[in-house]
Amino acid sequence: ASALQISRWEKKMKKNSQDVTRDVRVRSRAGFETERRGSHPYIDFRIFHSNSEIEVSVSARNVRRLLSFQRYLRSSRFFRGITVPNSSNILDDDYNGQAKCMLEKVGNWNFDIFLFDRLTNGNSLVSLTFHLFNLHGLIEHFQLDTMKLRRFLVMVQEDYHSQNPYHNAVHAADVTQAMHCYLKEPKLSKSLTPWDVLLSLIAAATHDLDHPGVNQPFLIKTNHYLATLYKNTSVLENHHWRSAVGLLRESGLFAHMSLENRQLMESQIGDLILATDISQQNEYLSMFRSHLDRGDLCLENANHRHFILQMALKCADICNPCRTWELSKQWSEKVTEEFFHQGDIEKKYHLGVSPLCDRQTETIANIQIGFMTYLVEPLFGEWARFSNTRLSQTMLGHLGLNKASWKGVQREQSGSGDDVDPAFEEMDSDILPQEPRLS
């Protein structure tokens, strides 16, 4: 039986490796040059970009990545030299000083990721994640090469598409900061191993890697090769995971580890990222609720810890309504803008507009109230049962206030505060798997 299990595990790892290669080294049917990644802006359905725009986009991304890494080299204590002061240096120093002050409060739930992104000149994901690796002692514990770590994070940041209003590197940084807050919670902090923390931060930083700015149904109905590759199941999440694995291998960050440990890491990161598939929300929530009802969660058990980390990442992924109104409102506007952009494309090409994506019939208030009612409140209610702390109560408090604020907006717009988006009302049926991802 043991030999059979090993054989099955080896086959699974081999398949995962093949999928990574097929995903990140695929040649587009549209005839574009082979690239390391496969999705937007290299989407086969030529909607978003012309060939010339794609060439410019690829070149620009490569230049930005190089410049971002060079900026790190210039600012690194290993490469710092004597420079002649000028106004721009003074301004940079001032911004860097403010960014460092913010990082001292990185565990504060009111952390303003938008301000931090401005202070770091658009490098919030790199700066924040590198700081958290240091803060948690991961660099020393796993003997990580800081240059390789920085290069890996730069590649991750550059593989998010800045043209996406919502699914971009700032969202990834926000989720990573939220994950850090959850890792600090008493139940977790005293139970988690450095390995658990490492997986959690990598998964959080890469959970939407190379997101195309459209949802799974869009990829399916446009016959995108990723939908075919992953058989229309967790298409985006599988792609995010395989893209993350590709960058881990390319960076050589964990090349000093054994092959077995690297494969285990890749598999467990996949488990975490796949848990963010919103169409699987009811399944994970039901398991979580059952564990809490039975009171059988034991964080000394590695499998139980891993499950809790899956739930933590799910919470981090959709925690926007649990932030302060000033932050939450910005996220609500950004995700709705992305939805409506997809709807505009679907209208233009007569594809049938996806739920929540029609700017003529939907409103931010209706979408957010439905989102909070059917997805956020149930999840964070159970999380508060598991971890009944000040942070949990703060999140639920913000959630209640934000929902009330959106209901106020809704009343002003429609004269009624009882409308809930029909797409969310039907979530208990079979509509949920076809909904646009909200994370």
Active-site residue identified among 136, 167, 180, 211: 167
Please report how many Cα atoms fall inside a 13 Å half-sphere around the Cα of residue 249, on the Cβ side: 14
Residues placed in the known binding site: 167-171, 207-208, 317, 368
The CA-atom distances, in angstroms, between 299 and each of 187, 191, 278, 342, 366 are 8, 6, 25, 41, 39
Asked whether 365 and 417 are in contact (CB, 8 A), the reply is: no
- Residue ranges for the known binding site for AMP are 167-171, 208, 317, 368
| Those residues with Cβ within 8 angstroms of residue 270's Cβ, 6 or more apart along the chain or in another chain | 16, 241, 245
How many Å separate Cα 108 from the centre of its chain?
A: 19
Q: CA distances (Å), 327 to each of 127, 174, 323, 376, in order?
A: 20, 11, 6, 16
Nearest to 320 by CA among 362, 375, 270: 375
What count of other Cβ atoms lies within 10 Å of the Cβ of residue 56? 13
Let me know: does 424 contact 373? Beta carbons within 8 Å.
yes
Q: Please give the structure tokens belonging to residue 139.
A: 């660099």
Q: Is 141 a catalytic residue?
A: no
Asked if 201 and 129 touch (Cβ cutoff 8 Å), the reply is yes
Contact 432, 281 (CB under 8 A): yes
Q: Which of the residues are catalytic?
A: 167
